[in-house]
Structure 1
Amino acid sequence: MKKDNHDIAYFLTNRSFVTWVKNPNPDSNYFWKKWIENNPQSRESFYAAKATIERIDFKKANVTEKDKEEVLNKILQNSTSKEISFEKPQKRIFKLHRTVYGGVAAAIVILIVSVSFLNQYNNEGVKESEIKTQSALITKTAERGKQKAMFLPDGSKVILNAGSSLSYYENFTGDTREVTLVGEAYFDVTHNPEKKFIVKSNGIATVVHGTSFNVKAYPNEGPLSVALERGSVAVQSLLHKSDSTTIFIKPGEKIIVEEQFENSLVDEFNYIEEFGWKDGILVFKDAGIEEFIGKLERWYNVDISVVGRNDHDWEINGMFKKQSLQNVLESLEFARKVKYTIKENQITIYTDLKN
């Protein structure tokens, strides 16, 4: 299977990559050298982002937390807008020519500012006047049809998938940084060995110090899963105090949590299947009709009903990058011999049609 071609936004918002470019060391040099050897299709974006970061002055930005969050959401909107694209992108050799900058200037400026904001936040920290007691519980929500990006009080970056919410206290105090997730989110956690970062969802705790990972925990839609991009995490059960089992996963591994926690499955994962949603890629892997409908309703902000039998073991597979809802439904119509109608935001799928 062809590996994903990461775009410039991926690198410019990747804390580990930015830190390496600004402050390389033998370990990070080795990591990124091996990374680009294993992902040659991303070489163009890799070196474009590196050249951009090397030209940034990170000390001039003076912005608020709200400013950083707004810029991050602009980047997300640019990279995940659901436009219809029928042509495959052509290969291009990266050159810092004026014509190249002309085509991506606006996006590059936004990304540069975003990285500058992020670095400024990490270097200067929170001013004394902004420090408050841990009293207010904040809940951020990504509505159906949208994704939401944010920074947490410690500088950690979170991207919420559509139909998800994240709750946390206004300021992390004590010896932990705890958040509660409903739905799906990507976390890029600021490293702090003194304060564990804990994601609680569906009776499971994912414990980290500083890393990037994806947690999928939509209610009534399959088992909870955690996929690790880099670093290390420990996954624990919160439902049974007598169960002291802790399962560790490594980069490139995913845990699928079973009802009996000790029987949870750890295996390798496909990057696009787990993280592609951040880049506007809708992925189905052996999806049943309930999972298929749930994803479409969140992704496109529609309501879907089924006329006819809906107990088929459909095992739907497909990958749709920035495609319209109609394109996805036409693929379903062809693959499963069904029909559909669209009336405003109401979709009806007709099954059991006679050939």
Structure 2
Amino acid sequence: MDYTNFNIEDFLTNESFVNYCYDTNDDDKKHWENVILTQPLLKKQITEARELCLLLGIKVSKAEKQQALNNLKKAIEREQLQSTNITKGKVRRLWFARIAVAAALLVFAMVYSIYKYTSPVSGAVLYSRVTDASYHIVARTNFNGRKKVALPDGTIVILNGASTLKMANDYNNNSRHVVLTGEAFFEVHKDKDRPFVVLTSKTATTALGTSFKVSSYSTLKTASVMLVTGKVKVESTRPHSNINDQILVPGQQVTLADGASGFIKSNFNTTKLQNWIDGRLIFSNANFAEIAAKIADIYGVQVAANSKDTSKIKFTGQFDNKSLTEVLDAIGFVNNFTYRQKDDRIKIVF
């Protein structure tokens, strides 16, 4: 189908397009991705219409959004039905009906335009704009290593194992946006005119000048944000979830699980986070569960073993800024096991 004559309002009242925006129908998603591919001149217009759908999903409830769209569709259907049985006496009424529908769409578009250019862009919309063409990889780590990265504005990032950090191509010009897969600690250089935003598949964390840790591994079902200094706003990047934003003060954290209806806010142990920053592991006659939990916390990898054998494992010792391989080799030597690694998962072998 040729959508050349479609405007933003036409896209918005198209059920297939709405399904594409909210990723509720695979066939519709494939259809509109194909439209973008085969009709590249429509890409900008489709992107703007999709942003509008996402904004609607964030600012109003799903029921309210659906009711508004249904009302608009009914008004258009009534106007179209009347147009099939036009009589001379009904021309004036039909004309007014058309004016009413057009006016509603015009006001809707004007409100959207004002909102778009005067309000901060939501985390969900920012994440929807992330593409390989607009972001590039700054640093990537394997399961065994960490990296300390300095961004162009002076922001310092400690990137944990099995993690990837991408940066917007216009970083430090018009914006300061990065995309994280995995886990990292950020010491953000203060800039009141350009908020620093960390985007993940689950969360968007916005700050001016502060320090915080973000965790969002693709293999885990939860994401978290821990705040050390300053203040941050944490949003969900799932546009149709209607999850309330959270403001954190130092010592607070939020977690978001797959399928959850909201963030869970709590306090965290600052010493534990400092140990993470320093790469410090302390074990005192630790059993397997304690060892696996601390390794997951420091290195972001999951350690598994046959449950029948884990009762044999005990370890006492301390590691300061050591690689995961060095830690596992030492614990394995004492407990007579080796291990296999695949991506961010470790399998203990006796």
Name the TM-score, length of structure 1 as normaliser.
0.48
Larger helix percent: 2
Name the TM-score, length of structure 2 as normaliser.
0.48
Question: In terms of Rg, which structure is larger?
Answer: 2
